[in-house]
A = this chain, B = another copy of it.
Amino acid sequence: MKKYEVIAEEMAAAIRQGLLKRGDKLPSIRQVQALKQVNASTVFQAYYLLEARGLLVARPRSGYYVAGNLHAERSLAPGGMPPAGLPTMLQVSDLVFTLLDRIKDPQHVPFGSAFPSPRHFPLAKLADHMASAVRRIHPSDTVSDIGQGDNALRRQIALRYQLDGTHTDASDIVVTNGALEALNLSLAAVTQPGDSVIIESPSFYAALQAIERMGLRAIEVPSHPEYGIDLMALEQAIIQHQPKACWLMTNFQNPTGSLMPEDKKQALVALITRYQLPLIEDDVYRELYFGKQRPLPAKTWDSEGWVMHCSSFSKTLAPGYRVGWVSAGRFTSQITRLKISTTLATSIPAQHALASYLAKGGYDKHLRQLRHQLMLQQLQFSQAIYQHFPEQVRFNLPQGGYFFWMQLPQHIDSLQLFQQAIAHNISLAPGHMFSSQQQYANFIRLNYGHPLDTHSLQAIQALGTLMKQVSN
């Protein structure tokens, strides 16, 4: 541990133990510097780390305060969790496609983007691995890597599961074209048109689109903005509607950023196992945690193979390579067959490049940098938002990932705001994209995965002004 980490840890402990309470002012940099006999930059780094963990907040021209009170008054109220909705045929895909199409315009400040800045990734180093890996591809690999995927890559993926005690064998893993294919194949493996599927409310729009495309019915079960899906509502929905699958996110949910606590994950797996309900666990943000430890997936407790755990390298390492996977438990052979008959194989050069990088490229070092960068950006963005958005805007500081899920004043329609923002070359993701119901009409998802430069700072100011204009 470095000096600044020791200091940060001491203060964090004091906060945890209640010695320092929410809203308390912290000693100044100068005071700590004198007390600990360190230089100012060490104290600054310690405070910085605590800020990034969301434990303290800097107030301009005032000093540092234990967080919570400051953010608490801004944070999302979970509200009375409504009961699950009825199974519904969806009609949201058209809207989502239209919005996605406009969001991707490179001219816009990408607050609506689903991706972190591509500049956060070691593209040059990956290119080196690609260059040498592609030269080592044996002609026979072009046949043997069909279907389930390259053996070496599957072993590397399985190793990462084993690092934190999740039992997964290379033979359980199907390599896919990104997590999106993994999720779609998983859903296709366990459903027929007309079946009902449980999703979270709000939920990642790809789940809504998949359900609509496959002619399924969605049951939207409320999800807590900090702790994820409501297990009681989930069980009621299972009993009432006999769904064929449940698709959710346990770690840094998209859009809310919620992180399901471990005991809740365990209870979730026990629940779906009891009802033999296949669980599609979308876990693409797990590596982007800001806490001390990588959170576990629900898959960790899946002794009977009902969990299809889907992830990828697209948001953590290799955007555009399109390499993801599913650790598919009892559904491995069905999913492999679906893969063979729909896209046959995942691009073999990309698989080999990633297998090579994972074996010796320094993935964990890169991830540490990426997490630090995202933590920093969360901090910077939140400060700018406090300053420029109307006070009534509510949002949480998620413990990982790169999305804020923001509740705007009731009278602001986020689709209208979207149109106005686009006119100012700013994109955002309106709440309408995350549910087939209208309950998130005054929500937006805001991406802080890009550095806060002058351009995006101005965009935050402009967005704030737009919101205030509507408010008046």
- Measured CB to CB, the residues of A under 8 A from B are 93, 97, 100, 104, 106, 113, 115, 117-119, 121, 123-124, 126-127, 130-131, 134-135, 137, 139-147, 176-178, 180-181, 184, 188, 192-193, 206, 209-210, 213, 215, 319-323, 337-338, 340-350, 353
Of the A-B pairs whose beta carbons lie under 8 Å apart in the complex, a sample of 10, sorted by A's number, is A124-B135, A180-B342, A181-B344, A210-B341, A321-B348, A322-B347, A323-B347, A343-B343, A346-B347, A347-B349
A97-B337 CB under 8 A given contacts A145-B320, A321-B348: yes
Q: Which of B143, B180, B181 contacts A115 (CB 8 A)?
A: B143
Closest Cβ neighbor of A185 among chain B residues: B342
Pair B143/A123 contact, Cβ less than 8 Å: no
User: How many copies of this chain?
Assistant: 2
Enumerate the 8 nearest inter-chain pairs by beta-carbon distance, A residue then B residue, closest first: A347-B347, A142-B320, A118-B139, A131-B131, A320-B348, A142-B319, A177-B343, A127-B134
Q: Which residues of B contact A209 (CB under 8 A)?
A: 341
CA A145 to CA B106, docked complex, whole Å: 12
Pair B347/A177 contact, Cβ less than 8 Å: yes
- Of listed A181, A184, A193, A320, residue having the most chain B CB within 10 A: A320
Q: Which residues of B contact A177 (CB under 8 A)?
A: 177, 343-347
CA A379 to CA B219, docked complex, whole Å: 61
> Distance (Å) between the CB of A206 and the closest chain B CB?
6
Q: Which of B140, B176, B319 contacts A118 (CB 8 A)?
A: B140
Pair B343/A181 contact, Cβ less than 8 Å: yes
Pair A322/B348 contact, Cβ less than 8 Å: yes
> Distance (Å) between the CB of A34 and the closest chain B CB?
45
Pair A353/B349 contact, Cβ less than 8 Å: yes
Pair B180/A343 contact, Cβ less than 8 Å: yes
CA A179 to CA B355, docked complex, whole Å: 25
Pair B140/A106 contact, Cβ less than 8 Å: yes
> Distance (Å) between the CB of A182 and the closest chain B CB?
10
Closest Cβ neighbor of A344 among chain B residues: B180
Closest Cβ neighbor of A346 among chain B residues: B322
Q: Which residues of B contact A184 (CB under 8 A)?
A: 341-343
Pair B353/A143 contact, Cβ less than 8 Å: no
Q: Which residues of B contact A130 (CB under 8 A)?
A: 130-131, 134, 349
A144-B106 CB under 8 A given contacts A213-B338, A341-B210: yes
A143-B340 CB under 8 A given contacts A322-B348, A347-B322: no
> Distance (Å) between the CB of A317 and the closest chain B CB?
12
Q: Which residues of B contact A178 (CB under 8 A)?
A: 343-345
Pair B127/A135 contact, Cβ less than 8 Å: yes
Q: Which residues of B contact A215 (CB under 8 A)?
A: 192-193
> Distance (Å) between the CB of A343 and the closest chain B CB?
4
> Distance (Å) between the CB of A105 and the closest chain B CB?
10
Q: Which of B135, B146, B147, B350 contacts A349 (CB 8 A)?
A: B350
- Of listed A124, A137, A337, A347, residue having the most chain B CB within 10 A: A347
CA A350 to CA B348, docked complex, whole Å: 9
Closest Cβ neighbor of A96 among chain B residues: B341
> Distance (Å) between the CB of A322 and the closest chain B CB?
5
Q: A93-B337, A126-B134 are in contact. List 10 more A-B contacts (CB 8 A).
A: A124-B135, A134-B353, A177-B346, A178-B345, A188-B213, A210-B341, A213-B338, A322-B347, A343-B343, A347-B350
Closest Cβ neighbor of A205 among chain B residues: B341
Q: Which residues of B contact A344 (CB under 8 A)?
A: 177-178, 180-181, 322
